[in-house]
Amino acid sequence: MVYLGWFLVVYGVFVLWSAYAKPTWVWNTGKVQGFVKLLKETGTVVLFVVFGLAALIGGGAILLNL
């Protein structure tokens, strides 16, 4: 479970960074562009932030044995 916790923390940090920095190699992929088309730019950023925070909180909870 420790590996899952660390993976979720790293994944959450990556997703939050992707939401705010918007690197072209992530933001121009087909899946993200589909979200942009469906949810617009702001909605996609909000979706990324929600998933990033959920991964961080879940990973932290696993690492703290909650």
Averaged pLDDT for residues 14-21: 95
Residue type, 11: Y
pTM, rounded to two decimals? 0.87
Is the pLDDT confidence value at 10 over 90?
yes
Phi, psi of 28 (to 5 degrees): -95, 10
Average pLDDT over residues 15-43: 94
Range(s) of the domain holding residue 22? 2-63
The predicted model gives 5-27 an average pLDDT of: 95
pLDDT for position 66: 78
If phi over 0 gives left and psi between -120 and 50 gives alpha, with beta otherwise, what is residue 22?
A: left
The count of structural domains within the chain is 1
User: Residue 8, Cβ neighbours under 10 Å: how many?
Assistant: 20
Please state the rounded mean pLDDT for residues 30-57: 95
Residue 29 is predicted with a pLDDT of 93
